[in-house]
Amino acid sequence: MFASHMILPDLRNQSIFDRLSPTLLSDLGLIHKGAAGRFSLLPLGTLIFERMKKIHRRNMLAAGAIEATFLSLAPADTWRESGRWDSFGPALIKTKLHGDQAACLNPTHEEAAVTIMRDWLTSYRDLPKNLFCIQKVYRDEPRPKSQLLRTHEFVMADSYSFHQDSSDADTCYQKMQDVFSTTFAAYGLPCQIIHADNGLIGGSRSVEFQLPHELGESRFVACSCGYAADVSVLRKEGICNECGEEIEAIKGIELGHIFHLETTYSAKMSLRVRGQNNKMQHPVMGCTGIGMTRSLQSIVMSHLKESGVAWPKAVAPFDVVIQSDSNEKSQMIGIEANLAAKGVSVLADDRDVSKAAQNALTDFTSPPIVLKQVGAHWDAVAKGNSVETGISAEAVLPYVDAILLAGQKSQQKQTFAERLEPFDGAAE
Ligand SMILES: [Zn+2]
């Protein structure tokens, strides 16, 4: 990829790096506002977002989940079966299709997942199953605000699991917490796991992943004894349920939620399988969700520095940025092509701009590896590593390979816990 092809922000304007600016992500060239609460992801935002999805997808697959893409325009009937056509409230976007068919835009996918499983599950032997997706959901939010934090449409990574009994659902509930912890560690987001309210989703219990932040709209408490809970879960305002100490509420951005649903949906929507005792039974369910677009904004706000974003290595938009110092750009073009062919995300700065402007772009994109042309040779700077000078054009590829592969070796590990390790290291 070449810098001249990209949509890039004006990096000479220091005011774009204001952490609490209501237009931070637009100013940085990551998103474009179409209307209040509705945004497009620009190419730079998309590069980062695709990395985020890849990390979470990999962690979910390692935990035995399987990926689907659900319908977005759901028939009203399935929502009537679950009882949420009325109970979900005004946030559910309802419409009528040709021939008077009532439909809604899915704000979450319990109904879609149960409907699929009704057609595919017949026996306890088919269990467990865990279906996940990473796609857009829709809510008629009355007061959209804070860029990607409260919007009409957003990308969610959600999963729906089906189990023979509660104890198997418990195992999955714990596994999903490990997956979320690993995903958020790779995003460089130090989330607090808290006991939460089940809200519109229902079920018996849930945990939230909250990122402490002043722009957050959730309020939670975290006690020095280790107990942390949603404010609404506290039995007595300001007092820890576990140890009785006084605690203060802090603001957080809710980035993830894991629910134990019991048989709330399988019973209402008549999902049954033949059990071990040959009787028909409702599978026990669990579900999870990560606000992916929200997480993108959280990454930017959490890693903003004076002149750029110190992207955690795993979600940096580019693995390699190439700076050329001569009018002779053929070496750079060749290296770009070779790296791109190997699947390395590379940005070659082919613009006719000053060294300072090239450095500003490199700083902004914060890549793990920077290659700089010095005469006929190349200098390489690997983040957190030494500078290597005088590399020939032919040796650049093996050098980049060695650095990137060194971070990927954990991919060959076998156990679930080991495979969950973010392949290119957690946040720095
Ligand atoms: Zn306590």
Say how many Å lie between the CA of residue 210 and the centre of ligand 1: 18
Residues 290 and 375 in one domain: no
Say how many Å lie between the CA of residue 212 and the centre of ligand 1: 18
Give residue-wise pLDDT tens across range 195-221. Answer: 887 666 666 789 999 999 988 888 888
- The CATH number of residue 363's host domain is 3.40.50.800
Residues 281 and 331 in one domain: no
Say how many Å lie between the CA of residue 362 and the centre of ligand 1: 45
Q: What is the C-alpha to C-alpha distance for residues 196 and 258, in angstroms, rounded to an integer? A: 9
Residues 278 and 300 in one domain: yes
**Percentage of the residues of the chain whose pLDDT score is greater than 70:** 93
Say how many Å lie between the CA of residue 281 and the centre of ligand 1: 40
Say how many Å lie between the CA of residue 223 and the centre of ligand 1: 5
Instruction: Give the DSSP letter of residue 191.
Output: P
Say how many Å lie between the CA of residue 229 and the centre of ligand 1: 10
Our count of domains for the chain comes to 2
Give residue-wise pLDDT tens across range 233-256. Answer: 777 777 888 888 888 889 999 999
The answer to whether 221 and 231 are in contact (CB under 8 A) is: yes
- The CATH number of residue 207's host domain is 3.30.930.10
Residues with Cβ < 8 Å from 199, sequence gap 6 or more?
Answer: none
Say how many Å lie between the CA of residue 226 and the centre of ligand 1: 6
Host domain of residue 66: 18-305
Q: Tally the C-alpha atoms within 13 A of residue 278's C-alpha that lie toward its C-beta.
A: 0
Is 208 a domain residue?
yes
Residue 155 confidence (pLDDT): 98
Residue closest to 259 by CA, chosen among 211, 201, 192, 175 = 201
Residue 423 confidence (pLDDT): 46
Residues 341 and 289 in one domain: no
Residues with Cβ < 8 Å from 268, sequence gap 6 or more?
Answer: 81, 82, 83
Say how many Å lie between the CA of residue 233 and the centre of ligand 1: 14
Say how many Å lie between the CA of residue 263 and the centre of ligand 1: 32
Q: What is the C-alpha to C-alpha distance for residues 102 and 354, in angstroms, rounded to an integer? A: 59
Is 298 a domain residue?
yes
Say how many Å lie between the CA of residue 221 and the centre of ligand 1: 10
Is 69 a domain residue?
yes
Comparing 35-44, 69-78, 160-169, 211-220, the range with the smallest average pLDDT is 211-220
Query: What are the C-alpha distances in Å from 41 to residues 53, 86, 202, 343, 362?
Result: 14, 32, 32, 22, 21
The model carries a pTM of 0.92
E strand or H helix at 338: helix 330-341
Mean pLDDT value of segment 346-358: 94
Average pLDDT for the chain? 91
Say how many Å lie between the CA of residue 245 and the centre of ligand 1: 5
Say how many Å lie between the CA of residue 246 and the centre of ligand 1: 8
Give residue-wise pLDDT tens across range 333-350. Answer: 999 999 999 999 999 999
Residues 300 and 333 in one domain: no
